[in-house]
Amino acid sequence: MAEPTYDRQQDAPIFIAAPVRRSGTTLLQRLCCGSGEAIVFGELAADDFFQLGQVMQYKKQMVAMGGGQRDRMLQEVIDGKVNQWIPDLLPFMKDYVLLQDKVMDSLCEGYAMAAGTDRRWGVKLPEWYPPNLAFWQQRLPASRTVYVVRDVKECLASARTMGIVTTSEDEAYFRNNAQQFEAMARQMLKPEQTYFLDYAALCDERAEEELRRLASFLGLTQLPAEVLQHRVGNY
């Protein structure tokens, strides 16, 4: 009997993102992992998706713009016409696109296997470029994204303590990213796949209800409120 193949339409990873660092993505990661129903991998893992997403978007744009010419070049080489400039020779475009799809499917399938058969998988990345995240949402329609929005003053204070922001130029860049990335996220991310989380709601009397709503959105039984009592990386 053949092993079941990966189905990207059914794969339902959890993506955790934010416009800037020090927004609370690690807290959301810990909450999801604490549910016992998900393993959300960290930023090194998420970078695999960011980098591959960037490459694949470029590749598909390249195929759309020059696919016919590249197919003709390959056919000429197959026919023996090798005395021409061919350093960028590629497979036929339909095969090339299929190859890229397989690479992306293999990455997702690998992380799903790493999380275990009884747990959802996910990754978290603050400053995830919204068009890239939107690409993954479109590719994985059952995915769910938690986009954490925190008061930029609090993020800046933490970033200064950690040495992420040290100059006035750093602060201007940080503030600009916070504004632009959130605006792009609200415009580009799919509403049915995205939960915009106000970080402050986890820090006051709204926390219990917010966790219930968030768990329901993610399809998890619950998110453990006791995780909120433990400060980790408290800068």
Render pLDDT for 57-88 as a digit per residue (tens, 0 to 9).
Answer: 888 787 778 778 889 999 999 999 999 999 98
pLDDT tens-place string over residues 160-214: 999 999 999 999 999 999 999 999 999 999 999 999 999 999 999 999 999 999 9
46 closest CA partner among 133, 120, 113, 115: 133
**Residue 48: Cβ-neighbour burial (10 angstroms; 0-12, 13-18, 19+):** middle
Give residue limits of the domains in the chain.
14-219
| Residue 235's pLDDT band (cuts 50, 70, 90) | low
Return the ∠ at Cα 97 (arms to 93 and 99), rounded to 5°.
115
pLDDT in the model for residue 127: 96
Task: Compute CA 5 distance to the chain's CA centroid, rounded to the nearest angstrom.
Answer: 23
The architecture that CATH gives domain 14-219 is 3-Layer(aba) Sandwich (3.40)
| Residue 43's pLDDT band (cuts 50, 70, 90) | very high
Distance from the first to the final alpha carbon of the chain: 53
